[in-house]
Amino acid sequence: MIAVFNGVNLNMLGQRDPAQYGTLTLGELESKIYEWSRAAGTTARCFQTNHEGALIDHIHECRGWASGVIINPGAWTHYAYALRDALEIVTVPIVEVHLSDITAREEWRRNSVIADVVAHRISGHGEDGYHEAITWLMQATKGV
């Protein structure tokens, strides 16, 4: 089972800057994630929050059941060291996903404080980045 974590402001998908983030709502994205997971032979559990501590609690909890993690921390990517530390103790592969290409945006968005604790990053592929992350995790874990 794959844990899919979406961070701060991702509940505003479909309403916030469609040029950067697309027109899909979070609910629509989660439906696609569930569909892609089933097609890959696994299941996904999605969680979104605007509260860093709640996300950290869910990361700690997933250590008992997840075979892989997909995370889009939103703006927390750039400064949330507590989130980085929580991810560091996860023992399964982690994929960092960003809808927009963070390396082509404002200078402050180019840094990822979680980069050194994730196994793979997909950035700038829109919603397809989540599909790519599921595929990558299934290959990395041999479908566990």
Is 21 a known active-site residue?
yes
The model carries a pTM of 0.93
Strands 68-72 and 120-123: unpaired
Query: Cα separation of 76 and 114, whole Å?
Result: 9
Q: Which of 21, 34, 58, 78 is catalytic?
A: 21
The domain spanning residue 129 has which CATH number?
3.40.50.9100
Structure tokens at 141: 């874990």
E-strand ranges in the chain read 2-6, 44-48, 68-72, 94-98, 120-123
Residue with the bigger pLDDT between 66 and 109: it is 66
Reported as half-sphere exposure (CB side, CA atoms, 13 A), residue 132 has a value of 15
Query: Cα separation of 62 and 69, whole Å?
Result: 9
Mean pLDDT, rounded, of the chain? 93
Q: Which of the four pLDDT bands, split at 50, 70 and 90, describes residue 143?
A: low
Q: Which of 60, 98, 120, 130 is catalytic?
A: 98
Reported as a single tens digit per residue, the pLDDT across 76-123 is: 999 899 999 999 999 999 999 999 887 777 786 778 999 999 999 999
Reported as a single tens digit per residue, the pLDDT across 16-31 is: 888 877 889 999 999 9
Work out how many domains the chain is built from and give that number.
1
Reported as half-sphere exposure (CB side, CA atoms, 13 A), residue 69 has a value of 29
Is 34 a known active-site residue?
no
- Residue 64 belongs to domain spanning: 2-140
